[in-house]
């Protein structure tokens, strides 16, 4: 799966959806317009009647079908209602995936949970995050849902969440759970999450018209009309109001019907792709297939108890509500079709799941995939191939990396109270005693003596920590940091910056750590997703590209000029316009350049990262410091890059 191609497909799907929903809105306007003509004709028919000279009543003239002023009023009113309602629903999702999970009763999993099933879930999600290079999603459990289901939601990878039902935890083996989580990570990497939120917002906008009509009719349920003349006049008004309400109800629900058809059709297509990607990630079709078979064998299946599941049904791993209209509203393909797509020999027999899988007896070693096969030398193309994807080799390496992390540090990364101190500890200078004393004094002054006590409990593990384990710990600490209050988060970043500059310089690792944290936390706290691509010309960002390649070339252990030339050769559109900058003494210029490049289009980001990979590997080898810098650059461009393969 090519990450950039997947993102381009997501944008094309969004464009098609805009066209389809525009047609649905136009249909709603047309229905409202003709309904308004009919209603106005009925209301004026009585007053417009005349009598001829013989006393016979002459019928009123039929209203004209073309009334530009009425069309303008109906169009503006319909667009205003749909637009405002859609924006309202979108604003509800501005908090990211957590808002979606909490809306259906999700509970955030305690990082220090003693529940073995929840611990297994955290381990699986952490391994997937490490293997794919995406920020660690926050994990939720839907405690009141005994069915087997799951979903991923968020505006970006930085605010993504993964949620599973209680039934998923209790009834699936680790292999089956890994298949389900792999399916959800496919939605994260394919850009489906933001598309799902757009779908929900647009459909809600159309639905509001029908809800308004239903509200009008509901308000008239107790109204009574007497036989007096005044009451008859008021009765006519009530009839008119009721007619308006009925019209809005019909028009709104007709538009909603076709909107749901579009939503369901788009969702069904994406589910097959996510299933195929999950099998590709895990190289274990029996895991995902087993989960689907257990859904078929469970009485509840994948149906959720909450009434809110229908609104976000296209988010889920499997059908979360009973589909109406003969399956036209089904957001997922039939189970047997999904299973046969990954297991062609499936005979139609489902599996009745156990009441609860005995997690304590399940062997994590046997459930894990086999170690990665020996690979050839790491090449620049390997960097591009690993972007935004999962492979069995990457997943196996991530599992080994996760298992090698010191348990004390892993526990600290998961705890909101300890994660900041862990990251402080990653910046402590163990080679210069004077710098270390200044750093420890900074921690004591800004975070308190309790922070020093926590640091002391982490110190021995931090000293023995391998360089390749540092950024993965930062990645796993993101959910804990996101849960901090804004004031605590501001103090954390101020302290972090002071620790970085305690020795008067910024190392590539320090830059990478700060950039990864600032970028991901900023995106997760933003009220909207990142701005739409603004720069589509390579020439417009040539100086910034030269800065990035120059910094990487100076960080290389080989010849700086040769390294820069290797990268520049990958950008033929800028031939003759790129030259190494002499010398780059700090990383401030890189920071400024990356902020501008973050608004560049996908093709520019893709070619830039290809050039950057050639710079890093120009001397035939790559060290941890170079690769960390490359990961920070990729993260700023919103491109997930996995850890350095061993």
| Cβ(608)–Cβ(100) below 8 Å | no
Tokens 């004031």 -> residue:
487
Q: Which helix (H) or strand (E) holds 57?
A: strand 57-58
Q: Is 481 helix (H, G, I), strand (E, B) or coil?
A: helix
Say how far apart CA 513 and CA 467 lie, in whole Å. 12
- List, as own/partner pairs, every contact residues 450-456 make where C-beta atoms lie below 8 angstroms and the sequence separation is at least 24, other chains included: 451/420, 451/421, 451/424, 454/412, 454/417, 454/418, 454/421, 455/421, 455/424, 455/425, 455/428
Burial-class residue 110 by CB neighbours within 10 Å (0-12, 13-18, 19+): middle
| Cβ(172)–Cβ(208) below 8 Å | no
Give the number of other CB atoms < 10 A from CB of residue 464: 10
Q: How far apart are the first and last CA of the chain?
A: 22
Q: Can 170 be counted among the known catalytic residues?
A: no
Largest CA distance in the chain: 115
Say how far apart CA 263 and CA 13 lie, in whole Å. 12
Say how far apart CA 209 and CA 230 lie, in whole Å. 32
Say how far apart CA 172 and CA 286 lie, in whole Å. 12
Burial-class residue 234 by CB neighbours within 10 Å (0-12, 13-18, 19+): middle
Name the token pair of 493: 């970043």
Q: In terms of DSSP bridges, do strands 150-153 and 161-165 run parallel, antiparallel, or are they unpaired?
A: antiparallel
Give the number of other CB atoms < 10 A from CB of residue 445: 11
Tokens 């906008």 -> residue:
205
Q: What residues contact residue 419 under an 8 Å CB cut-off, 6+ apart?
A: 412, 413, 477, 480, 481
Say how far apart CA 196 and CA 175 lie, in whole Å. 27
Q: Is 361 helix (H, G, I), strand (E, B) or coil?
A: coil
Q: Is 46 helix (H, G, I), strand (E, B) or coil?
A: helix
| Cβ(633)–Cβ(609) below 8 Å | yes
Please give the angle made by the CA atoms of 275, 279 and 281, to the nearest 5 degrees.
115
| Cβ(634)–Cβ(574) below 8 Å | no
Active-site pick, 118, 126, 145, 184: 184
Q: Is 464 helix (H, G, I), strand (E, B) or coil?
A: coil
SS (H, E, C) 386-433: HCCCCCHHHHHHHHHHHHHCCHHHHHHHHCCCCHHHHHHHHCCCCCCH
Name the token pair of 415: 């705890």
| Cβ(187)–Cβ(193) below 8 Å | yes
Say how far apart CA 100 and CA 201 lie, in whole Å. 12
* Catalytic machinery residues: 184
């Amino acid at each position: 799966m090519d990450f950039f191609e997947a993102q381009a497909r997501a944008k094309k799907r969004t464009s098609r959806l805009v066209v389809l929903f525009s047609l649905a809105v136009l249909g709603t306007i047309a229905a409202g317009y003709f309904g308004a003509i009919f209603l106005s004709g009925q209301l004026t028919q009585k007053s417009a009647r005349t009598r001829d000279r013989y006393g016979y009543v002459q019928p009123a003239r039929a209203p004209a079908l073309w009334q530009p002023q009425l069309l303008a009023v109906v169009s503006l009113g319909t667009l205003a209602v749909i637009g405002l309602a859609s924006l309202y629903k979108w604003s509800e999702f501005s908090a990211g995936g957590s808002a979606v999970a909490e809306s259906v009763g999700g509970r955030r999993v305690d990082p220090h949970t003693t529940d073995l099933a929840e611990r297994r879930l955290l381990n699986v999600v952490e391994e997937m995050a490490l293997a794919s290079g995406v920020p660690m999603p926050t994990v939720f459990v839907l405690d009141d849902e005994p069915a087997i289901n799951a979903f991923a939601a968020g505006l970006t990878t930085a605010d993504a969440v993964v949620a599973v039902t209680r039934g998923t935890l209790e009834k699936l083996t680790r292999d089956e759970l890994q298949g389900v989580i792999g399916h959800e990570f496919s939605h994260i990497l394919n850009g489906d999450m933001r598309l799902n939120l757009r779908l929900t917002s647009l459909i809600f906008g159309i639905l509001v018209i029908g809800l308004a009509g239903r509200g009008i009719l509901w308000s008239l349920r107790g109204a009574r009309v007497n036989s007096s003349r005044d009451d008859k006049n008021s009765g006519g008004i009530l009839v008119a109001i009721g007619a308006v309400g009925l019209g809005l109800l019909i028009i709104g629900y007709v538009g909603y019907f076709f909107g749901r058809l579009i939503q369901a059709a788009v969702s069904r297509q994406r589910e097959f792709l996510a299933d195929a990607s999950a099998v590709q990630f895990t190289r274990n079709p029996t895991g995902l297939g087993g989960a689907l078979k257990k859904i078929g064998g469970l009485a509840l299946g994948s149906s959720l108890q909450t009434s809110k599941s229908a609104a976000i049904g296209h988010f889920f791993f499997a059908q979360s509500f009973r589909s109406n209209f003969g399956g036209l509203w089904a957001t997922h393909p039939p189970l047997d079709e999904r299973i046969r797509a990954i297991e062609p020999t499936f005979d139609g027999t489902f599996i009745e799941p156990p009441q609860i899988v005995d997690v304590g007896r399940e062997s994590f070693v046997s459930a894990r995939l086999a170690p990665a096969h020996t690979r050839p030398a790491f090449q620049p193309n390997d960097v591009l191939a690993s972007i935004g994807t999962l492979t069995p080799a990457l997943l196996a390496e991530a599992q080994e990396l996760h298992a090698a992390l010191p348990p004390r540090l892993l526990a600290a990364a998961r705890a909101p109270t300890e994660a900041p101190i862990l990251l402080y500890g990653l910046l402590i200078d163990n080679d210069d005693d004077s710098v270390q004393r200044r750093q420890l004094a900074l921690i004591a002054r800004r975070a308190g003596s309790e922070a020093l006590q926590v640091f002391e409990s982490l110190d021995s593990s931090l000293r023995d920590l391998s360089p390749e384990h540092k950024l993965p710990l930062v990645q796993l600490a993101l959910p804990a940091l996101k849960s901090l209050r804004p004031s605590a988060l501001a103090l954390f970043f101020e302290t972090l910056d002071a620790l970085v500059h305690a020795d008067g310089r910024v190392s590539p690792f320090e830059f990478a750590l700060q950039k990864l944290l600032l970028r991901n936390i900023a995106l997760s706290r933003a009220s909207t997703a990142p701005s739409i691509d603004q720069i589509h010309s390579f020439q417009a960002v040539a100086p910034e590209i030269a800065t990035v390649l120059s910094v990487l070339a100076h960080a290389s252990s080989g010849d700086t000029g040769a390294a820069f030339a290797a990268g520049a050769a990958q950008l033929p559109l800028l031939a003759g316009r790129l030259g190494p900058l002499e010398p780059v003494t700090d990383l401030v210029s890189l920071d400024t350049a990356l902020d501008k490049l973050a608004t560049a289009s996908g093709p520019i980001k893709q070619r830039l990262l290809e050039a950057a990979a050639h710079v890093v590997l120009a001397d035939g080898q790559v060290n941890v410091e170079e690769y960390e810098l490359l990961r920070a650059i990729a993260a700023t461009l919103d491109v997930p890059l996995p850890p350095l393969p061993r």
